[in-house]
Amino acid sequence: MTNDPAPGRGSIPGSVPAHWGLEMDMPARGAGSSVHWSVMSHDSQGSGASSRPGPQWTRTGGPSRAQSRRLDAAFPVSGAWRDGDPVGGRRFADIGALELEAGGHIPAVRMAYETWGTLNEAGDNAVLVLHALTGDSHVVGDAGNGHATAGWWSQMVGPGAPIDTDRYFVVAPNVVGGCQGSTGPSSLAPDGQPWGSHFPIITVRDQVAAEIELTRALGVRSWQFIVGASMGGLRVLEWALLGPEAGVGVESVGVIASAAQTPGDQIAWAHPQLTAIHADPKFRGGDYYDAAPGDGPHVGLGIARSIAHTTYRSAHEFDERFGRISQGGEDPMRGGRFAVQSYLDHHASKLAKRFDANSYVVLTESMLTHDLGRDRGGVNTALASITARTLVVAVDTDRLFLPAESERIARYVPGAQARLLHSDFGHDGFLIEFDQLGPIVASFLAEANRSA
């Protein structure tokens, strides 16, 4: 879910948890083909895993817990990209009005996106990369010049990379409702003021409908591969059904650390995050864009991020990497923090500087309403109707999108290939375990090219 994971220790060999209810060498029952999880062992990961730097606890004289939660006045009221800011690698397409699943419409939608590679004359060598909750279109590239962070999947996309831009035309849009150039709560509404609290409820299907219109604007007739993780994976599944319905070909899809239907456990985790933002008095009901720097809803957004980031990583990592170590010279017995608290504070601060609280709420709520089976006869029926070649990847320590959710997708999508990443890093494994994920995606695409 995050796009700025901190490095940690290398992966440790381990067995598959028995509580999955999934036997590694036995086919799963249900519609579609048998499911076999192929696990890449520690020994096959190469040298990258063992070379990750560990934490260094050398800072002394750190702030007290109370001081660490006081945000300075340099914080922008919102980390959203706004008109007039440096464009960076962004491009823009105006796709017109967007009718919404819950009713109503957005009268004029702009899509921000980035591209790499060249679209061929047939318009069929295109790959669509869909970002997670706090990600954006900046998949590849350095930070700066309009981009607060470096590319979040730079090891997966590029010349000679698993998604090879010498071969494919790669497109990454910023999702509608986001805050990095596409129409969202921080964008100007028809009255010339930021949408703020008036931004409508949107669903994953609405977001995909906008991406379909972007596809047409780009002249792409068929996507050879659509891939996304976490929130991006939700859109991938909707694309597998909505794309063909709209006349856009979808040859293959990759669903990574995601689900076909948001479970109650995830709704429960999201509830205190949304409550934290709404309870921040500086949220002002969502209308805070004219506030002074430092007077935005950074505390609420930071708390939401701390809760979320706990679900993005694993208990094993927190115990092995931090344990009960205190932060620098701070003493938890005297109001100081444990190192893991400092780590969460750090990620809270980073997000508050580069993201928008309204977008966090809008996108989280869109995830909560995600249900591939809505008006399609149920989830299993919807999955069984997917015709694209499908790759499903889970992370064994994921406690946000549990591996069982991925197993359900792979069980019911006909012919789906299932793969499992071993990782100490939980859900964020899809942003870290490139030595495992890269070969999986490259092999899947190579098979597609051979069968074409």
Assess whether 134 and 229 both reside in one domain. yes
Task: Fill in the amino acid letter for 137.
Answer: S
Same domain, 120 and 214: yes
Whether the per-residue pLDDT at 43 is higher than 50: the answer is no
Inside any domain, residue 8: no
Mean pLDDT of 156-170: 98
| Pair 397, 332 in one domain | no
Catalytic residue of the set 137, 186, 187, 230 = 230
CA distance 149 to 151: 7
**438 and 311 share one domain:** no
- The number of angstroms, rounded, from the C-alpha of 112 to the middle of its chain's C-alpha atoms is 17
Give mean pLDDT, residues 130-147. Answer: 96
Residue 160 lies in a domain: yes
Beta strand 169-173 with 105-116: parallel, antiparallel or unpaired?
antiparallel
Query: Is position 235 annotated in a ligand binding site?
Result: no
In a 13 Å sphere around the CA of 90, the CA atoms on its Cβ side amount to 28
Given this model, what pLDDT does residue 33 score?
36
Task: Give the number of domains in the chain.
Answer: 2
Assign 72 a pLDDT band (cuts: 50, 70, 90).
low
Q: Rounded mean pLDDT of 41-70?
A: 39
20: CB partners within 8 A, 6+ apart? 403, 404, 407
324 and 385 belong to one structural domain: no
What would the pLDDT profile of 93-120 be if each residue is shown by its tens digit?
999 999 999 999 999 999 999 999 999 9
**Whether residue 319 sits in one domain with residue 220:** no
Is the pLDDT score of 45 beyond 90? no
The pLDDT, as a whole number, for residue 21 is 34
Q: What is the per-residue pLDDT across 283-339, written as a single tens digit (0 to 9) for each?
A: 999 999 999 999 999 999 999 999 999 999 999 999 999 999 999 989 999 999 999
Residues 325, 57 contacting (CB under 8 angstroms): yes
Please check whether residues 201 and 248 belong to one and the same domain.
Answer: yes
Assigned domain for 24 exists: no
Q: How far is residue 187's CA from residue 104's CA, in Å, rounded to a whole number?
A: 18
CA distance 111 to 206: 13
Establish if 161 belongs to a structural domain: yes
Q: What is the pLDDT of residues 8-30, one digit of tens each?
A: 333 222 333 333 333 322 223 23
* Residue 7 maps to a domain: no
For residues 260 and 271, membership in a common domain is answered with no
- Looking at residue 394, its pLDDT comes to 98
Q: Is residue 362 part of a domain?
A: yes
**370 flagged as catalytic:** no
For Cα atoms 332, 335, 341, give the angle at the middle one, nearest 5 degrees. 60
Q: What is the structure's pLDDT at 450? A: 76
Nearest Cα to Cα of residue 154 among 145, 146, 144, 165: 165
The per-residue pLDDT for 75 is: 84
Q: How far apart are CA 237 and CA 253, in angstroms?
A: 8
| Residue that terminates a domain, selected from 331, 366, 401 | 366
What's phi and psi for 213, nearest 5 deg?
A: -65, -35
Residue 284 assigned ligand-binding role = no
Q: How confident is the model at residue 74 (pLDDT cuts 50, 70, 90)?
A: confident
Q: Which two tokens stand for residue 39?
A: 């696990």
Residues 390/253, Cβ–Cβ less than 8 Å? yes
Same domain, 301 and 417: no
Please determine, for residue 58, whether its predicted confidence score (pLDDT) is greater than 50: no
Q: What is the pairing mode between strands 169-173 and 252-256? A: unpaired
Of 366, 387, 403, which one is at a domain's C-terminal end?
A: 366
Give domain status of residue 403, yes or no: yes
What confidence category does residue 214 fall into, taking pLDDT thresholds of 50, 70 and 90?
A: very high
Distance CA 46, CA 25 (A): 24
DSSP percent split of the chain into helix, strand, coil, nearest 5: 35, 15, 50
Q: According to the model, what pLDDT value does residue 452 have?
A: 62
254 and 154 in a common domain? yes
Instruction: Report whether pLDDT(194) > 70.
Output: yes
Domain membership flag for residue 393? yes
Q: Do residue 253 and residue 275 come from a single domain?
A: no
Question: pLDDT > 90: what percent of the chain?
Answer: 81
Tell me the per-residue pLDDT of 250-272, one tens digit each, with 9 for 90 and over.
999 999 999 999 999 999 999 99
CA 281/CA 264 separation, integer angstroms: 28
Reported as a single tens digit per residue, the pLDDT across 353-407 is 999 999 999 999 999 999 999 999 999 999 999 999 999 999 999 999 999 999 9
Which CATH number fits the domain that encloses residue 284? 1.10.1740.110
Q: Are residues 195 and 312 in the same domain?
A: no
Q: How high is the pLDDT of residue 442?
A: 98
Tokens of 320: 């092995």
| 8 Å CB contact between 233 and 257 | yes
Segment 426-435, tens digit of pLDDT:
999 999 999 9
- Return mean pLDDT, the chain: 87
Full domain range(s) for residue 286: 65-79+266-366
Least confident of 44-53, 200-209, 297-306: 44-53
Residue corresponding to tokens 């007739």: 221
pLDDT of residue 73 exceeding 80 = no
Residue 223 maps to which CATH number?
3.40.50.1820
Share of the chain above pLDDT 70, in %: 84
427 is catalytic: yes
Pick from 341, 366, 391: which residue ends a domain?
366
